[in-house]
Structure formats: C-alpha cells, structure tokens
Amino acid sequence: MFDPIVQHRCEAVHSFVHIPDNNPDAPWRAVIAVHSTRRGPALGGCRFVPYQSGDDALQDALRLAQGMSRKAALAGLDLGGGKAVIMMPEGVFDRQALFRWFGHCVERLSGEYITAMDAGTQVEDMDEIFRHTRHVASHSQIGDPSPHTARGVWQAIRYVLHEVLGLAPTKSRVAVQGLGHVGMLLTQHLLDNGVQVVVSDVNSDRCQQAQSMGASVVAPEQILQQKVDLLAPCALGGVIHAGNLDELNCQAIVGAANNQLEDADCGRELHQRGIVIAPDYLVNAGGLVFASGRYQGWSDERIAAQIDSITEHLGDLLRQSQQRDIAVNVLADQLADEAIAAGHYQPATHDMGKEALWSL
Ligand code: NAD
C-alpha cells in the first residue's frame, strides 16, 4: 500500500469511508492526498468521477497532488499541493449529503488540505462543503477563476510573441484549441489586441460565438496543423504527442490545458526542433493564484500583481532553458521540485485564512 505513496513522494494520504443507511452496498469513499505542505497548506481540487477501483482513485489523487505542489511552487505561492478524489457511488445517492460528508472530511484535516473544484464537481457542491468547513477555495463567494487563468495565459502569449519571437500582436497569428471557460476569454484578449485568431471546438455554438467576435474557425482535426506563430491548447491533456509532432506548424506552444504534452520526451523533442513551449502548469496558474489569494484574503491588486509575475517566472525559465540547453518542461519540474524541497512552512500556522475568509 505504501509503494505508490513513496513513489510520488507524497507526505500523507487520508482515506474516508461512509456507509449510507439507505444503501449500505454503495459506500462513499474518498481519498485526500497531501503531496507537500513544505511551502504551505496543500491546496488542490476535488475530483468526483467513477473509478474502477480504490487503487485507481489513489493513483489519480497522488499524481494530481504532485502536480499541484509543482504548480504552486513555480508560481511562487506559499502553498503546498494536494488533491481529493471521491469515487462516484453506483446507483442513486444524495449528492448534497455526500458533499456535506466530504466537507466534514476536509474539516477533520484542520486546514492541512484546502479543497476546490475539479472534474465532476460544481460550485453548488463547493457551497455545500463550505457550510461544514472553511477550507474551500472555490465556493460561490470566491467566484470563477477562469478569467484569471485566461489573463495569465494571454500575458504569457504576449510575452512569447514579443520577447521570444520578436512579433507585435498585430503581426501575429494564433490558433486556439477549445473555446470553453478559458479559451473563449483568451480568444477575446487576443482579438482585442489585434492578433489574428483561428479557433476550433467540438461545440459548434462556441465556434459561432468566436466567429462573431472576429476569429476564423476550422474543424477540430485541423487546428494543430494551422500555420500560425503560436498554438494555444485550451481543451484537453495529451494533445501534443510523438504521433503529431511532424504536423505542427507553429513556432511556440502556450496554452491553458493541463498536461498538454503526452510525456517529457515530447518536450525534449520540441526543444530540439526549436519550438518554444511554456510549461502549462506555470502559465495556467492565474486561476490558482486568484482562488488561493481570495481564500487568504488578498486584495485584488495583490492577486493581479502575483498573476503578472507568472510572466517574469516564464521569462526566467525560457532564458535558463536556452542557456543550459535543457527542455523547458524538464527544467520546470526540476525548479519546482527544488522550490518544494526548500520550503520552510510551519504547519502550526495552518489557520492562515481564518481572519481573511470571513471578510470576503
Ligand atoms: P472547459 O471544459 O470549459 O472547456 C473545454 C473546451 O474544449 C470545451 O468548449 C470543449 O467543447 C472543448 N473541446 C473538447 N474537446 C475538444 C477537441 N478535441 N477539440 C477542440 N475543442 C475541444 O474547460 P476550461 O475551464 O476552459 O479549461 C480548459 C483547459 O484548461 C482544461 O485542460 C483545464 O484543465 C485547464 N485549466 C483551466 C483552468 C480554469 O481556470 N478554468 C485553470 C487551469 C487549467
């Protein structure tokens, strides 16, 4: 049981079970993986999807928790990383009661873990959790993080276009894959700044909306091959893989989607080919900065300044990647792991959000 936990260098894993009186054959099961609290309390979303087994749920929680530690560390936040997964029970269940129970689970950790929205959870679920614990960073009083993610990604794109490729926005062409919460707002930022934008989404209504804003639309299977200066993946993970590297027709890749590269080798190959990539978990950290900042009671100015600093971190990283001839994704993981190891957080101060939260 300890092997995967050791493998992911995870500090702690908490398992919770509840047997509902009205359906004892469908127990509620949740795992909270606390990857690291060396820089601060472990923040990360709560995933609520079906899993084949408890082992699968644990693996997912461990992998995602490590990613959250790296994301917070690279963005310069005094936060650790964690992740919760709730295995979706079979059959009928009382959703509100389930998230009430989960709220109590989070509360039992006394702030060591701060939860947030993730795949399968909604803001109403977070509001239910928030009735039972204050350690929640994405309830409705905090608001939607997507505009902040989109802003951070836009700033990173502007930086790469201007500082790395030497292009003014008005002379640039960008392809956006995915027009969801982040992709649509990013498209708006790009168009507002005179960038030529080509987009795709599997949802035709969203394509039409982007077209009415001034973007051109191509079929989803054509977006990666577009001849553009920069590609912005904002839909799914694993979109760049060994099988489609030859089809890419861009000089840089900067987008919101998590885990855009199928694996680290893909990043090494892009580095060899001279295609600039921005680590996804750095450039999409605007939403995390916003949510954790609101949780801690930061002012809007402080949140905005911290999001602005993402671009400085990106600049440092791209320079080091060039100087040391190391693929930027590999370097990002290294630097994030060093920053996590160097953390000096004192767990006794887990209560940092208390005063601020009630004034939100
Ligand atoms: P979303 O679910 O709102 O949007 C995703 C969009 O991608 C949808 O419009 C969907 O129709 C489209 N899509 C799906 N498959 C596609 C395909 N094959 N081709 C083109 N489009 C396709 O998600 P979001 O909140 O906008 O997030 C986008 C990505 O950014 C995700 O990977 C998410 O994990 C990541 N991210 C989001 C945030 C945030 O603040 N929302 C923060 C960090 C990372």
How many angstroms does the Cα of residue 177 sit away from the middle of ligand 1?
Answer: 9
Residue 174 lies in a domain: yes
Q: Rounded to whole angstroms, how far apart are CA atoms 223 and 157?
A: 17
Name the DSSP class of 136: B
**Residues 103 and 173 placed together within one structural domain of the fold:** no
The more confident residue out of 111 and 349 is: 111
Task: Verify whether ligand 1 is closer than 6 Å to residue 240 (CB atom).
Answer: no
Structure confidence at residue 349 (pLDDT): 43
- For position 115, what pLDDT does the model report? 97
- Partnered with residue 94 across adjacent β-strands are none
Residues 114-129: pLDDT tens digits?
999 988 999 999 999 9
Residue 348 pLDDT more than 80? Answer: no
Measured distance CA(43)–CA(83) in Å, rounded: 7
- Please tell me the residue having the least CA distance from ligand 1 atom 3: 180
Asked whether residue 205 falls in the same domain as residue 248, the answer is yes
Percent of all residues in the chain with a pLDDT value above 70, rounded to a whole number:
95
Same domain, 120 and 163: no
Residue 112: inside a domain, yes or no? yes
CA separation (Å) from 65 to 9, 12, 44, 344? 10, 11, 7, 19
pLDDT per position as a tens digit, 45-97: 999 999 999 999 999 999 999 999 999 999 999 999 999 999 999 889 999 99
- Do both 74 and 12 map to the same domain? yes
Task: Clarify whether residues 150 and 235 are in a common domain.
Answer: yes
Once rounded to an integer, what is the mean pLDDT over residues 223-237?
96
Question: What is the CATH number for 166?
Answer: 3.40.50.720
Is 177's C-beta closer than 6 angstroms to any atom of ligand 1? yes
If DSSP codes are grouped into helix, strand and coil, which group holds residue 80?
strand
The phi and psi torsions of 124 (rounded to 5 degrees) equal -65, -35
> Do 160 and 95 share a structural domain?
no
Please say if the pLDDT value at position 357 is more than 80: no
pLDDT band of 101, cuts 50, 70, 90 = very high
Residue with tokens 């507002």: 192
- For residues 150 and 66, membership in a common domain is answered with no
Q: Is the CB of 199 under 6 A from ligand 1?
A: no
Average pLDDT estimate for 100-109: 98
pLDDT of residue 346: 55
Task: Give yes or no: residues 277 and 151 share one domain.
Answer: yes
Q: Which of 232, 264, 283 is the last residue of a domain?
A: 283
pLDDT of residue 280: 94
Q: Does pLDDT of 351 surpass 80?
A: no
User: For the sheet containing 42-49, what is the strand order?
Assistant: 12-18, 28-36, 80-87, 42-49, 113-117
**320 part of a folded domain:** no
Any ligand 1 atom below 6 A from CB of 222: no
Residue 345 has pLDDT above 90, yes or no: no
71, 83, 171, 354: the catalytic one is 83
Strands 80-87 and 28-36: antiparallel
| Catalytic annotation present for 83 | yes
Instruction: Establish if 136 belongs to a structural domain.
Output: no
Report the number of distinct structural domains present in the chain.
2
pLDDT of residue 232: 98
Average pLDDT, the chain: 93
User: Phi/psi at 310 (nearest 5 deg)?
Assistant: -60, -40
Which residues, in sequence order, are CB contacts of 264 under 8 Å at separation 6+? 327, 329, 330, 333
Q: Can you give the three-state secondary structure of 233-293, one letter per residue?
A: ECCCCCCECHHHHHHCCCCEECCCCCCCECCHHHHHHHHHHCCEECCHHHHCCHHHHHHHH
Residue 107 lies in a domain: yes
Residues 186 and 67 in one domain: no
What pLDDT score was predicted for residue 358?
30
What digits encode the pLDDT tens for the residues 120-164?
999 999 999 999 999 999 999 998 899 999 999 999 999 999 999
**Domain range enclosing 154:** 146-283
The answer to whether residues 90 and 157 belong to one domain is no
What are the distances in angstroms from CA 323 to CA 71, 315, 318, 319, 328? 23, 12, 9, 6, 11
Per DSSP bridges, beta strands 252-253 and 28-36 are: unpaired
Percent of the chain whose predicted confidence (pLDDT) is above 90: 89
Helix extents (H) in the chain = 3-7, 54-74, 95-108, 123-130, 146-159, 181-192, 204-213, 264-273, 280-283, 286-295, 300-324, 328-341, 354-358
CATH number at residue 34: 3.40.50.10860
Nearest Cα residue to atom 27 of ligand 1 = 182
Q: Taking residues 181-191, what's their average pLDDT? A: 97
Q: How confident is the model at residue 236 (pLDDT cuts 50, 70, 90)?
A: confident
Q: Where are the alpha helices (DSSP H) in 19-145?
A: 54-74, 95-108, 123-130
Within a domain: residue 103?
Answer: yes
Which of 283, 302, 330 finishes a domain? 283
Task: Show which of 130, 164, 186 is a domain's final residue.
Answer: 130
Whether 263 and 207 share a structural domain:
yes
Q: Residue 259: pLDDT band by 50, 70, 90 thresholds? A: confident
Q: Is residue 139 part of a domain?
A: no
Backbone angles phi and psi of 254, in degrees to 5? -145, 110
Task: Note whether residue 329 is domain-resident.
Answer: no
- Same structural domain for residues 185 and 269? yes
CA atoms of 265 and 327, how far apart (whole Å): 9
CA atoms within 13 A on the CB side of 165: 25
